[in-house]
Amino acid sequence: MKAVRFQRFGGPEVLEVVELPDPHPGPGQVRIAVRAAGVNPSDWKKRKGLMDQELPQTMGHEAAGFVDELGEGVTNAAVGDRVFGFCAEEGAQAELAVLSYYAPIPPSLDFPEAAALPAAIETATRALDQLNVTNGSTLLINGASGSVGSAAVQLAVARHARVIGTASPPNHEYLRSLGAEPVTYGEGLTDRVRALTPRGVDLALDVAGSGVLPELIDLADGPENVITVADVGGAEKHGVRFSRGDTGRALHSLSEIGDLIESGRFSVPATHTFPLTEVAKAHQAGEQGHTHGKLVLLIT
């Protein structure tokens, strides 16, 4: 099968599409013929050697496609089913991928839309669970218009929370369409939030990692009410929890998102697609920030 791999750290030019042996599912897993695979910022961090140090590395954790092989004991899927989900190991950006965690693709979604979901909804749901966002909570989301931020907005609104989201002015109408009250990020953020809610907020989630943890701590009345998924150094400095997937994933998000999508309570972000062979261009687009929405590789 064809798969994305790199054998040395560096820029997008180190990415290769190579032939690798076909994988096979273990107990409880399914193998899919991949039709679309998500690209995330962690991909270029790994490519640069900023995360994992082993070489070579295959790429990708999230994918969507048709089930074509079942592992031992699988009873909740059949060959031919459309599913999306996570690889426990790398390797989703390939013609074949083994999913350890998966769910049926909501009927209204195509494969690129489904491949755009797993990382965003799991990250957002995990953070909301850890913050205990519930009916009546007032939540501030820093970086609310990106794929994870917009997922967090919609999932919090579905929990009947009041959501205030930071974004640039051109994205304010988008946030309103998702059910959030937008504010502009940058200097003066605290005053703009307090203009909406003078007592501050109950909880705050940092998705952007833009150095605003002190302001979020002030608005949420303490670091214990703030979580970041983007600012490791700031979390350590200010005593804020950094939410990591390796400390327990919110995998229930995969099976729960379908009802929200089909009922119109969750909108999938726009996708920007690239053929598998143009994975380097996808990395360039993501790193340069020239796209709005989710980057997805197409496998035909």
Domain spans of the chain, in order of start: 2-117+268-298, 120-246
User: Token match 């999938």: residue?
Assistant: 268
Decide if 266 contacts 257 (C-beta within 8 A): yes
Record the tokens describing residue 18, joined without a space. Answer: 């190579």
How would DSSP label each residue in 128-141? HHHHT--TT-EEEE
Kindly indicate whether the domain formed by 2-117+268-298 is annotated with CATH number 3.20.20.70. Answer: no
H or E element at residue 46: helix 41-47
Class at the top of the CATH hierarchy for domain 120-246:
alpha beta
The secondary element (H helix, E strand) that includes residue 261 is helix 252-262
Asked if the peptide bond before residue 56 counts as cis, ω within 30 degrees of 0, the response is yes
pLDDT at 155: 98
pLDDT, block means (10 residues), the chain with 300 residues: 96 96 97 97 89 91 97 96 93 97 97 96 96 97 94 98 96 96 95 97 94 97 96 94 83 96 94 96 86 88
pLDDT value, residue 246: 67
Residue 158: its H or E element: helix 147-158
Where are any strands of DSSP class E within the chain? 2-6, 15-19, 30-39, 57-58, 62-70, 82-86, 96-99, 101-104, 138-142, 162-167, 181-184, 203-206, 226-228, 241-242, 271-275, 294-298
pLDDT reported for residue 50: 86
Cα 96 to the center of its chain, rounded Å: 21
